[in-house]
Amino acid sequence: MYIPKEFLISDRQVILDFIRKNGFGLLVTSGEYPEASHIPMIVVDDDPIRIWGHLAVGNQQLSGLNGAKVLLVFGGPHAYISPTWYAVPGQVPTWNYATVHAYGIAKLSSRRETTEMLEKMVAFFEEKSPLSGRMREEKYQDIMSGIVGFHVDVVSVQGKFKMSQNHSVEDRIGVIKHLKGSSDPYEREVAEMVRQTIPQNGANKDF
């Protein structure tokens, strides 16, 4: 992924928190043509990073997945940025966004491992639900025959938060002003992420 230095995120904890918050990602593999599946995934180990997911048994991406090199893409908030919001005129439109790319080796899971990971997934997405404790019941095991679990041992991870860091503080404040009152939650989140790039001194503490 192309990452200008202004947008590079290298803090491991920030990256892990981002994946956990934006767990509906993209599994990308290569064959005759690249293939991709949009699936929920969770981080199950931090060091080294291990990410778990599952595919339907009919998904052709399963062919050759065991032992394959894969790319996992996790997308976050994003928003169109108009140059009319900047303090300095004569600039061009752009797009602010946050994303993490994780590269690693995939391995298919056994039924036992898949059950354990589904328990963790349900517990993660439904913290107070009793469902995670029922994954071993026969009816859920029968349903589980329609999926194949896998995990990815991550060997490299890249974080990119493009949040107007290449613009002046005045330009960034203009972006915040136009996005923070939006009805779109992604745009409001972008406004907050841009705000976090600005030193919070007396002149701009309200942003």
Give residue 34's pLDDT.
92
Give residue 88's pLDDT.
87
Give residue 202's pLDDT.
46
Whether 52 contacts 150, CB under 8 Å = yes
User: Structure pTM?
Assistant: 0.90
Place of tokens 């995670």: 132
Q: Where are the domains of the chain?
A: 5-82+93-166
Digits of tens for pLDDT over the chain (207 positions)? 999 999 999 999 999 999 999 999 999 999 888 999 999 999 988 889 999 999 999 999 999 999 999 999 999 999 999 999 999 888 999 999 999 999 999 999 998 898 888 888 888 888 777 776 776 777 777 777 889 999 999 999 999 999 999 999 999 999 999 999 999 999 999 999 999 999 876 445 555
Structure tokens given for 100: 């993490």
DSSP for 108-135, please give it: EPPHHHHHHHHHHHHHHHSTT-GGGGGT
User: What CATH topology corresponds to 5-82+93-166?
Assistant: Pnp Oxidase; Chain A (2.30.110)
Give residue 59's pLDDT.
96
Give residue 132's pLDDT.
64
